[in-house]
């Protein structure tokens, strides 16, 4: 039996509320009126975000009122489960497989808390098998799409023939805190959206994109670069301004070390699919990989059409690449709290 894990199908899902950037800007300007750095810089943050629209599990008016941690988390559980269920049913339909074919479930999410975890809730919602291997993952942030897929691949390799479902769902909009007038909270209002992605991974399938290798790197003395500040009214976003510079300075050498470590090289890569972060991060990624501006087309398109959904975003970009019938060797990258980078190489013929 072929012991290479393969991605049999990908599917994505978004909630029903559409937030166009043209609607968000006046609403945010009212919320952040009087901030010390002025209206010109405020407008520039939105104009330079590279985003036209995003999707939200709550309407725009929700953001204009304060909410407790409990209110947010109740919304998180209900909506994350809805999106996970939708993405699961869609990916099974794409693969032509029944629900009872799922033998393992890796669930990645960092924008809320659920115990029983989302995988148990999803099993109950969809009536999945009782013997499913469960792995809920919290805290990977934006790196969770790549690293969650890597964990599913590792599990699939350990049990050839067992089908693993990787669900990645984030509701970043719910982390907006009305009382927080900090710059990170402001920038988040220009970037974040909600979404979910699902991937079916199995060894021995004989078809699908082959996951060749995966890896990660965590920089020392970098814990303050990205994460949550836990407050009474919710999870407050924390990210450093120098992320684009770190990407330009360090990422290519880190990727090269990963590739050499798995017996590969950058010269063999045909496509690079990245978690976008924001427009400045995508610019930095293109510079780091010595690509022309705009070369990361699928990554930029997903950022423009869906915003930064944290962990699922890179899988949205991969789905877009597959839909364009791109074939060859892919490198997936993402960055998240730790401060960490996740890598995964796969091949599609």
Q: What is the pLDDT of residues 312-349, one digit of tens each?
A: 999 999 999 999 888 899 999 999 998 999 999 999 98
Shared fold status for 5-203 and 209-348: yes
What's the mean pLDDT in 38-52? 72
pTM over 0.85: yes
Residue 305, pLDDT above cutoff 80:
yes
Q: How distant is the alpha carbon of residue 297 from its chain centre?
A: 17
What's the mean pLDDT in 104-110? 98
What's the mean pLDDT in 161-175? 96
Among candidate residues 142, 172, 203, 274, the one labeled active-site is: 142
142 is catalytic: yes
Domain ranges (residues) in the chain: 5-203, 209-348
Residue 271, pLDDT above cutoff 60:
yes
How far from 24 is each of 61, 143, 193, 308, CA to CA, in Å?
Answer: 10, 26, 12, 15
Per mean pLDDT, which range of 64-68, 146-150, 239-243 is the poorest? 239-243
CATH 3.90.1150.10 fits 5-203, yes or no: no
Per the model's pLDDT, the better-predicted residue between 299 and 326 turns out to be 299
pLDDT range class, residue 18, cuts 50, 70, 90 = very high
Position 242 scores a pLDDT of 81
pLDDT range class, residue 35, cuts 50, 70, 90 = low
Average model confidence (pLDDT) for the chain? 91
Residue 39, pLDDT above cutoff 60:
no
Which CATH architecture describes the domain 209-348? 3-Layer(aba) Sandwich (3.40)
Per the model's pLDDT, the better-predicted residue between 23 and 80 turns out to be 80
How far from 76 is each of 43, 59, 82, CA to CA, in Å?
Answer: 30, 14, 10
- Helices H / strands E in the chain, number of each: 11, 13
Per the model's pLDDT, the better-predicted residue between 231 and 321 turns out to be 321
Q: At what angle do helices 118-126 and 69-95 cross, to 10 degrees?
A: 50
Residue from 83, 112, 52, 111 nearest 310 by CA: 111
Strand, helix or coil for residue 224: coil
How far from 17 is each of 24, 52, 99, 112, 235, CA to CA, in Å?
Answer: 12, 14, 28, 19, 22
Residue 34, pLDDT above cutoff 70:
no
Q: Do the beta carbons of residue 141 and residue 59 sit within 8 Å?
A: no
């Amino acid at each position: 039996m072929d012991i290479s894990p393969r991605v049999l199908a990908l599917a994505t899902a978004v909630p029903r509320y559409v937030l166009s950037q043209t609607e968000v800007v006046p609403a945010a300007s009212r919320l952040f009126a009087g901030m010390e750095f002025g209206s010109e810089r405020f407008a520039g943050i939105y104009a330079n975000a590279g985003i036209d629209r995003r999707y939200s599990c709550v309407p725009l008016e929700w953001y204009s009122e304060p909410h407790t941690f409990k209110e947010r988390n109740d919304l998180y559980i209900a909506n994350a489960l809805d999106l996970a269920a939708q993405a699961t049913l869609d990916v099974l339909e794409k693969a032509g497989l029944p629900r009872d074919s799922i033998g393992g479930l890796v669930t990645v999410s960092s924008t809320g808390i659920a115990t029983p975890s989302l995988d148990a809730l999803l099993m109950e919602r969809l009536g999945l098998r009782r013997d499913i291997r469960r792995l809920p993952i919290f805290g990977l942030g934006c790196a969770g799409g790549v690293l969650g897929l890597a964990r599913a691949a590792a599990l699939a390799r350990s049990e050839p023939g067992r089908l693993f479902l990787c669900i990645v769902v984030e509701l970043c909009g719910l982390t907006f805190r009305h009382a927080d007038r900090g710059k990170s909270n402001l920038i988040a209002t220009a970037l974040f959206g909600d979404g979910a992605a699902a991937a079916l991974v199995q060894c021995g399938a004989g078809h699908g994109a082959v996951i060749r290798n995966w890896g990660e790197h965590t920089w020392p003395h970098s814990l303050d670069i990205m994460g949550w500040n836990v407050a009474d009214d919710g999870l407050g976003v924390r990210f450093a301004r120098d992320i684009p510079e770190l990407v330009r300075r360090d990422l290519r050498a880190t990727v090269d070390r990963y590739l050499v470590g798995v017996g590969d090289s950058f010269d063999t890569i045909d496509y690079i699919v990245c978690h976008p972060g924001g427009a400045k991060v995508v610019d930095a990624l293109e510079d780091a990989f010595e690509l022309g501006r705009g070369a990361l087309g699928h990554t930029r398109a997903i950022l423009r059409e869906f915003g930064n959904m944290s962990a699922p975003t890179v899988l949205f970009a991969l789905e877009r690449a597959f839909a364009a019938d791109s074939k060859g060797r892919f490198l997936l990258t993402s960055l998240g709290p730790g401060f960490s980078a996740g890598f995964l190489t796969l091949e599609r013929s």
